[in-house]
Amino acid sequence: MTRAHEVSTVMHVRCPDGLGEEGYRQVLEQLAELSPVVRALPPGAALVELKGALRYHGADARRLGEILRVRTLSRLGIDLRIGIGPTITVAATASARAPGPGGVLAVAPDQVTSWLGPLPVGALHGIGSRQADVLRDYGIHSVGLLAAVEPATVQRLLGGKAGRTASDRARGIDPRPVVPRELPTTAAVSRAFDRHVLDGADVRAALLELVVRLGLLLRRRDQAARAVTLTLRFAGGGRWERTRRLAEPSAHDDDLRLLAYRLMDAAGLQRGRLTGLALKGEDLVDADQVATQISLDDAREARLVAEEAVDRVREKYGPDVIGPAALFRHAS
């Protein structure tokens, strides 16, 4: 019989809804006692790589999950839902299916296909509600059916990247490692003007530049913002600042631009002389926690595909080699 520490290595932990920052920090400390490889997924989840921990503690994965749950209950009064599996997707799907308010569900590699297959398609970690609706409309109601459909068909339904990812994960394919890191809680970009600016077109072009920079920064960090703050600095030392939340966490230029423009419109600048502005993404989450949603807006889907291509060009040739046409027209 194959030992558990050779097959089940990833643990996904879900804290109770509404757990505060201090309680979450204490849970992370308990995870660090179990394994040195912990990745925080704020505000209430975490990933743990168990491979080394299983050898160190001499216990199987399910047993370590039960030990963790007992520790957090007895020391912190916090119950956890814990999923364990050979990949991040399987572990995260399992934690969502673990009995509440707390429990442990472990899925071994030889059980992945039979366990995932009967699940509703929307239960697969990473499938968003709109994606699930599209798949169900096509007759794909379970994860097993999604795994059986040709990947090219899933890509036509959900879009290239999202379709490939969904098809792979339905088959239990997810090569992503658990990478420990401290996630920044904010991401900020700013622009100072050489002279006092009154022209609305100049201000709007500068804001668009910040949107592009902020989106690129978030995507490089594999993060998404739940809220955006715009700060305007005026001649004489005055400042104006407002924050608005996004409908869904996002790192896409499209979403950030629309919200930033609404914030700018709310400022009602009139003849205010600006010396600078800053744009900040706040309440950040790991991109893995954000379901990849599809849109019925073909133009938006095309822009998201273009965004991926532009990011690849920037990665190869530098961040300033390509961008919105409005920025280049304004610069010229």
* pLDDT tens profile 243-300: 999 988 999 999 999 999 999 988 877 666 889 999 999 988 877 767 655 555 667 7
- What CATH number is associated with residue 53? 3.30.70.270
The residue segments making up the domain with residue 1 are: 1-111
Percent of the chain surpassing pLDDT 90? 48
Task: Give me the pLDDT at residue 199, please.
Answer: 64
Give the 3-state secondary structure of residue 11: strand
* Residue ending a domain, choose from 181, 198, 223: 181
Please report the pLDDT score of residue 54 as a whole number. Answer: 81
Does pLDDT of 88 surpass 90? yes
Mean pLDDT of 33-43: 87
My answer on whether 304 and 171 are in the same domain is no
Question: Do both 97 and 40 map to the same domain?
Answer: yes
Kindly state the average pLDDT of the residues 26-44. Answer: 88
Residues 199 and 327 in one domain: yes
Which of 181, 204, 233 is the last residue in one of the domains?
181
Q: How many CB atoms lie within 10 A of CB 198?
A: 14
- Residues 136 and 95 reside in one and the same domain: no
Q: Shortest CA distance to 105 belongs to which of 16, 15, 23, 8?
A: 8
What residues pair up with 82 in beta bridges, in sequence order?
13, 104
Provide the 8-state DSSP code for 149: S
Co-location of 126 and 102 in the same domain:
no
Summary mean pLDDT of the chain:
85
pLDDT at 297: 62
219: domain CATH number is 3.30.1490.100
If asked whether residues 72 and 94 sit together in one domain, one would say yes
CB count in 10 Å sphere of residue 284? 21
Residues 83 and 140 in one domain: no
Cβ atoms of 160 and 168 within 8 Å: the answer is: no
For residue 239, pLDDT over 70 is answered with yes
Within this chain, do residues 243 and 259 fall inside the same structural domain, yes or no?
yes
The alpha-helical segments, DSSP class H, found in 243-295 are 253-267
Q: How far apart are CA 170 and CA 160, in angstroms?
A: 16
Cα separation of 267 and 112, whole Å?
A: 53
Provide the whole-model pTM.
0.64
Q: What is the pLDDT of residues 180-230, one digit of tens each?
A: 866 667 888 998 887 787 667 888 889 999 999 999 989 888 889 999 999
CA dist 232 and 222 (Å) reads 27
Q: Which two tokens stand for residue 35?
A: 């394994």
Nearest-CA neighbor of 80 among 53, 102, 108, 62? 102
Quick one: 53 and 162 in the same domain?
no
CA 328 – CA 323 distance, rounded (Å): 8
* Confidence (pLDDT) at 89: 95
Q: Measured between alpha carbons, how far is 233 from 298 in angstroms, rounded to an integer?
A: 38
How much is the pLDDT for 279?
Answer: 95
- Largest Cα span, the chain: 76
Grade residue 332 by pLDDT with cuts at 50, 70 and 90: very low
Dig out the tokens for 118 from the structure.
Answer: 């009967």
Same domain, residue pair 52 and 151: no
Of 42-46, 151-155, 266-270, give the range with the top mean pLDDT: 151-155
Same domain, 145 and 212: no
The answer to whether residues 159 and 200 belong to one domain is no
CATH of the domain at 125: 1.10.150.20
Higher local confidence (pLDDT), 317 or 236: 236
Q: Which of 126, 149, 181 is where one domain is finished?
A: 181
Q: Which two tokens stand for residue 79?
A: 């119950």
Contact between 61 and 5 (Cβ < 8 Å):
yes
Q: What percent of the chain clears pLDDT 70, i.e. is strictly above it?
A: 88
* Residue 258 one-letter amino acid: L
Residue 3: pLDDT band with limits 50, 70, 90: very low
Q: Which comes out higher in pLDDT, residue 8 or 234?
A: 234
Tens of pLDDT, residue by residue over 4-25, are 334 458 999 999 988 888 888 8
Strand partners, 191: 277
Domain count, the chain: 3
pLDDT of residue 331: 47
Q: What are phi and psi of 45, to 5 degrees?
A: -145, 170
